[in-house]
A and B are shown apart, each in its own frame.
Chain A
Amino acid sequence: DADVTQTPRNRITKTGKRIMLECSQTKGHDRMYWYRQDPGLGLRLIYYSFDVKDINKGEISDGYSVSRQAQAKFSLSLESAIPNQTALYFCATMGRGSYEQYFGPGTRLTVT
């Protein structure tokens, strides 16, 4: 089984809808991250969390919110989806004392 899972893997939604992307991990890592990837722009950090009570904005947090429900779960919400939020979204984890991030398989989101 994968160490970092994301649901859903693909989602098509309409403008204005609320969407939640979920991430779960079995690695026991305290640090979790949400990125989006767009062609030509690489990975950009949306939010990150160093533990359940510590949540921080990344470089492109506008239009997004997160919830760290437990050490193993980190959800990303789009309160009112817009077409320019169409992208590939990755969740990642990292353990203490390490710089290696482990990524989930990604969620391909399309907002029409």
Chain B
Amino acid sequence: RKEVEQDPGPFNVPEGATVAFNCTYSNSASQSFFWYRQDCRKEPKLLMSVYSSGNEDGRFTAQLNRASQYISLLIRDSKLSDSATYLCVVNLAGGTSYGKLTFGQGTILTVHP
């Protein structure tokens, strides 16, 4: 079983749609969670961290369910510029695991007019 699993998609949605991505992780000791965004042929960039209480940044909402080992990203009012690959990222707690991020394979989103 992969440490971090995502539905690879692709998701094709019209502008203005709401879309949700899911991610599961296998190691219950995981402590930190993130969503990165990667545009085509570009480097990944941090989109947002994911906190236990859930967090929102504009049109983006991230949620964490530790009991189910599940992370989600919700995008409301999709824009053409949201088209990208979204990477679910997990870090184990402390010690030699600190700073070692494990990436999911990514979910491809295409927003069309």
Contact = CB atoms under 8 A, between A and B. Distances in A.
Bound together? yes
Interface of A: 31, 35, 40-45, 48, 50, 56, 58, 90, 94, 99-101, 103-106
Given A42-B106, A90-B43, A99 B91 contact: yes
The 3 closest A-B pairs by CB, nearest first: A103-B43, A42-B105, A43-B103
A42 B87 contact: yes
Contacts of B1: none
A31 B98 CA distance: 10
A48 B91 CA distance: 14
A43 B34 CA distance: 14
A99 B32 contact: yes
Residue among B34, B45, B105 with most chain A CB within 10 A: B105
